[in-house]
Chain A
Amino acid sequence: MGRFILRRLAMLIPVLVGVSLVAFLILHLAPGDPARLMAGIDASQEDVEMLRHKFGLDRPLPAQYAMFVRGLFTGELMSLRYESPAMEVILPRLKNTLVLACASIVVAVVLGVSAGVLSATHRRSWVDYAATVLSLFGISMPVFWWGLLLMLLFSVKLMWLPSGGMGTIRHIILPALVLGTASTGIIARMTRSSMLDVLRQDYITTATAKGLTRQLVVNRHALRNALIPTVTVVGLQFGQLLAGAVLTETVFTWPGIGRLLVSSILARDLPVVQATLVIVALFFVFVNLAVDILYAILDPRIRYHG
Chain B
Amino acid sequence: MASRSQGSLVVRRILRNPVAVVGLVIVLSYLFVAAFAPRIAPFDPNEQDLSKSFAPMSAEHPFGCDEFGRDLLSRIIFGARTSLIIQIFSVCIALVVGVFLGALGGYFGGWLDEGIMRMMDILLAFPGILLALAIVAMLGPDLRNLIIAIGIYSIPQFARITRGSVISVKQNDYVTAARAVGETQASIILRYVLPNAISPIIIQTTLRMATVLLTAAGLGFLGLGVQPPEPEWGTMLSNARMYLRSAPMVAVIPGLSIMLVVLGFNFFGDGSQDALNPRLKE
Which residues from chain A sit less than 8 Å from chain B, CB to CB? 14-15, 18-19, 21-23, 26-27, 29-31, 132-133, 136-137, 139-146, 148-149, 151-152, 156, 189, 196, 236, 239-240, 242-244, 246-247, 250, 261-262, 265-266, 273, 277, 280-281, 284-285
B104 CB–A CB distance under 8 Å? no
Q: By the criterion CB–CB under 8 Å, are B237 and A144 in contact?
A: yes
Q: By the criterion CB–CB under 8 Å, are A133 and B259 in contact?
A: no
Q: By the criterion CB–CB under 8 Å, are B119 and A18 in contact?
A: yes
Q: By the criterion CB–CB under 8 Å, are B138 and A280 in contact?
A: no
Q: Closest chain A residue to B127 by CB distance?
A: A239
B205-246 vs A, Cβ < 8 Å mask (1 yes, 0 no): 000001000100110011110000000001001100100110
Provide the bound-state CA to CA distance between A244 and B222, in Å.
12
Q: By the criterion CB–CB under 8 Å, are A148 and B129 in contact?
A: no
8 Å CB interface, B48-71 against A? none
Known: A15-B122, A137-B263, A281-B125. A246 touches B133 (CB 8 A): yes
Provide the bound-state CA to CA distance between A23 and B130, in Å.
11
Known: A26-B138, A142-B217, A247-B221. A265 touches B122 (CB 8 A): no
Q: By the criterion CB–CB under 8 Å, are B255 and A246 in contact?
A: no
Which residues from chain B sit less than 8 Å from chain A, CB to CB? 19, 118-119, 121-123, 125-130, 133-135, 137-140, 210, 214, 217-218, 221-224, 234, 237-238, 241, 244-245, 248, 251-252, 254-256, 258-259, 262-263, 266-267, 270, 280
Contacts of B123 in A (CB 8 A): 22
Q: Closest chain A residue to B240 by CB distance?
A: A148
Contacts of A137 in B (CB 8 A): 259, 263
Give me the 4 closest cross-chain CB pairs, A-B, nearest first.
A243-B128, A145-B255, A239-B127, A18-B122
Contacts of B266 in A (CB 8 A): 136, 139-140
Cβ contacts A to B, 23 pairs, < 8 Å:
A14-B122, A19-B126, A22-B122, A23-B134, A26-B134, A30-B139, A132-B270, A140-B259, A141-B259, A142-B218, A142-B237, A142-B258, A143-B218, A144-B238, A145-B258, A151-B244, A236-B127, A242-B128, A250-B222, A261-B130, A262-B222, A280-B126, A284-B127
Provide the bound-state CA to CA distance between A27 and B138, in Å.
7
Contacts of B255 in A (CB 8 A): 142, 144-146, 148-149
Provide the bound-state CA to CA distance between A286 and B96, in Å.
31
Provide the bound-state CA to CA distance between A261 and B133, in Å.
9
Contacts of A146 in B (CB 8 A): 255
Provide the bound-state CA to CA distance between A26 and B221, in Å.
22
A-B contacts counted at CB < 8 A amount to 144
Q: By the criterion CB–CB under 8 Å, are A244 and B221 in contact?
A: no
Main secondary structure of the interface of B (DSSP, over half): helix
Contacts of B251 in A (CB 8 A): 145, 148
Shortest B38–chain A CB gap in Å is: 26
Contacts of B139 in A (CB 8 A): 29-31
Contacts of B224 in A (CB 8 A): 262, 265
Contacts of B133 in A (CB 8 A): 246, 261-262, 265
Provide the bound-state CA to CA distance between A144 and B217, in Å.
9
Contacts of B135 in A (CB 8 A): 26, 29
Contacts of B118 in A (CB 8 A): 14-15, 18
Which of A140, A143, A243 is within 8 Å of B130, CB to CB? A243
Which of B121, B130, B218, B237 is within 8 Å of A15, CB to CB? B121
**Most-contacted residue by chain A among B222, B248, B254 (CB, 10 A):** B222
Known: A142-B214, A250-B221. A156 touches B245 (CB 8 A): yes
Q: Closest chain A residue to B213 by CB distance?
A: A142
Q: By the criterion CB–CB under 8 Å, are A19 and B129 in contact?
A: no
Q: By the criterion CB–CB under 8 Å, are B140 and A281 in contact?
A: no
Provide the bound-state CA to CA distance between A295 and B165, in Å.
24
Q: By the criterion CB–CB under 8 Å, are B137 and A144 in contact?
A: no
